[in-house]
Amino acid sequence: MNRSLNLAGACAALAVAGYILLPSNISNEEESSSKLPTVGLVSIQVPPLEGNAAVGARIFENACATCHGSNASGIEGAGPPLVHKIYKPSHHSDESFQRAVARGVKSHHWRFGDMPRITGLTRGDVTMVIAYIRQVQRANGIN
């Protein structure tokens, strides 16, 4: 189990490096419109994304979607949906996302197992991912 968690962390770091090093020819409008609607563990709508949220979406898809699903909709047996009332700002602050990435987190809401710490992401990267998650949450009535 620990070996697979290390592999997941290494994959996340490689994904972030690929995101940083490879240019994207897709505009934010084309990128976000291709994601409407998305079905994972929860069905969500993704609003048009701009600025930090658009950058955060790209980082998320490269570093987090392996476990949390495309557009944070979750993956059965891998990771919970982050577009869920459990993760609303009044229950899980932005800092709780920062700490989860930096330190990992013990499973406490779901039966997905513990989340390992994720290497290769800066606080700034995670701040942009949080902007993305919060914008998608608001678009789905989670405030």
Give the pTM. 0.72
- Per the prediction, the chain carries an average pLDDT of 80
Residue 45 main-chain phi, psi, to 5 deg: -110, 135
Specify the 3-state DSSP secondary structure of 30: helix
* Statement: residue 51 has pLDDT above 50: yes
Instruction: Report the first-to-last Cα separation within the chain, whole angstroms.
Output: 35
* Confidence band for 109, pLDDT divided at 50, 70 and 90: confident
Rounded average pLDDT over 76-95? 95
* Confidence band for 22, pLDDT divided at 50, 70 and 90: very low
Q: Which two tokens stand for residue 11?
A: 């994959």
Q: Which two tokens stand for residue 118?
A: 């994720």
